[in-house]
Homo-oligomer: A and B are copies of this chain.
Amino acid sequence: MKKITSLFKIKYPIIQGGMIWASGWKLASAVSNAGGLGIIGAGSMNPETIIKHISKCKKATSKPFGVNVPLLYPEMDQVMKILIDQQISIVFTSAGNPNTWTLKLKNAGCKVVHVVSSVKFAIKAEKAGVDAIVAEGFEAGGHNGREETTTMVLIPLIKKAVKIPLIAAGGICSGESMAAAICLGADGVQVGSRFVVTEEASSHINFKKAVISADQGSTILTLKELTPVRMIKNKFYKEILNIYSKGASPELLTEHLGKGRAKKGMFEGDLDQGELEIGQVASQINEIKPASEIIEGMINEFNKVLSIISLYKL
């Protein structure tokens, strides 16, 4: 775990995921102030908004924080220029080719972390020169891999395939699951869904409440013909199912998906027609809390699990 805390100069190896429509400066600075690594999720921000959030985050914390950029972002050159100009020291990239930007960011003094869901892309990212990898399992919310590999299986596979520090994501929302990830070979954890249901997340209150109401089986990985995404099975999902029952073509799915579904659901709170991206751990989330309490709670649980399990030697 030292590998991750040293790399980012943070107290705890807990990284907040850069969930779109949730991870603005408020959440990122709260996580960083509590000893984790806060991340601004740039995927749902236009360039001006990114600058605004970076500026506010710098004022709200003196601790390190990062920015997450999906590499399919439309104004990529502009965003990367912003990150470099603003001297962002930690950049998480996802959903794209790690070769395109890693070297440029590293030359500008950034630590670069790439998010993957397969061994193949983990190796590719390591070769591209990234400083660490986030490996995200099937249970994670939002966009996800086609192999459907769960965190339990993915982490040992990737641990064996690469040498750089490894951050586990998917299914992690407690000290217990954090300890499990460390046992599997991770050096740290990325927590997404749990931080959506915080006071500081910019997610709509309706969405936060929908996550609290979610049970086992409330989420599903769907739209595999386009980009697989885990979301709550709401009215919009039932409409997708209806398209499937008629033999879903990618064209029909794309048409029904349209634009702005994620914003509509997660930021504007339209629980029927919006896309509500969240992980399977939604079933374990029962309360809106400040981000600092989540981190404190995880650390306490983690230490408790370690005390107990150390008695279990066989």
Decide: B157 and A177 in contact? CB cutoff 8 A.
Answer: no
Of the listed residues A1, A183, A281, the one surrounded by the most CB atoms of chain B closer than 10 A to its CB is A183
Main secondary structure of the interface of A (DSSP, over half): helix
- Which of A66-74, A84-92, A141-149, A196-204 is found at the contact surface with chain B? A141-149
Decide: A177 and B150 in contact? CB cutoff 8 A.
Answer: no
Given the contacts A152-B150, A152-B171, A177-B152, A303 and B309 also touching, CB distance less than 8 Å: no
Report the bound CA distance from A172 to B170 in whole Å. Answer: 17
Decide: A179 and B174 in contact? CB cutoff 8 A.
Answer: no
Q: Is A284 an interface residue (CB 8 A)?
A: yes
Q: Is A62 an interface residue (CB 8 A)?
A: no
Decide: B137 and A150 in contact? CB cutoff 8 A.
Answer: yes
Chain B residues whose C-beta falls within 8 Å of the C-beta of A180 in the assembled complex: 152, 179-181, 183-184
Q: Is A310 an interface residue (CB 8 A)?
A: yes
Decide: B153 and A284 in contact? CB cutoff 8 A.
Answer: yes
Q: Is A275 an interface residue (CB 8 A)?
A: no
Shortest distance between the CB of A18 and any CB in chain B (Å): 21
Chain B residues whose C-beta falls within 8 Å of the C-beta of A215 in the assembled complex: 119
Shortest distance between the CB of A152 and any CB in chain B (Å): 3
Shortest distance between the CB of A168 and any CB in chain B (Å): 9
Report the bound CA distance from A50 to B229 in whole Å. Answer: 45
A305 to B, closest residue via Cβ: B183
Q: Is A97 an interface residue (CB 8 A)?
A: no
Report the bound CA distance from A217 to B246 in whole Å. Answer: 27
Decide: A314 and B12 in contact? CB cutoff 8 A.
Answer: yes
Select one of B139, B174, B184, B314 contacting A150, CB under 8 A. Answer: B139
Report the bound CA distance from A148 to B170 in whole Å. Answer: 14
Q: Mark A274-314, 1 if CB is under 8 A from B, else 0.
A: 00000011011000000000000001001101110110111
8 Å CB contacts to B: which residues of A175-199? Answer: 176-177, 179-185
Select one of B247, B283, B306 contacting A310, CB under 8 A. Answer: B306
Select one of B171, B182, B216 contacting A312, CB under 8 A. Answer: B182
Q: Is A42 an interface residue (CB 8 A)?
A: no
Of the listed residues A147, A172, A281, the one surrounded by the most CB atoms of chain B closer than 10 A to its CB is A147
Shortest distance between the CB of A104 and any CB in chain B (Å): 30
Q: Is A16 an interface residue (CB 8 A)?
A: no
Chain B residues whose C-beta falls within 8 Å of the C-beta of A109 in the assembled complex: none
Decide: A156 and B183 in contact? CB cutoff 8 A.
Answer: no
Q: What are 7 residue pairs bridging A and B, where the CB atoms are less than 8 Å apart in the complex? A: A1-B312, A118-B217, A146-B217, A148-B217, A149-B217, A247-B247, A309-B309
Apart from the given pairs A152-B171, A306-B309, 14 other A-B contacts in the complex at a CB distance below 8 Å: A1-B312, A120-B216, A138-B139, A139-B149, A148-B217, A149-B217, A149-B283, A153-B281, A154-B216, A156-B177, A156-B284, A182-B312, A299-B314, A309-B310
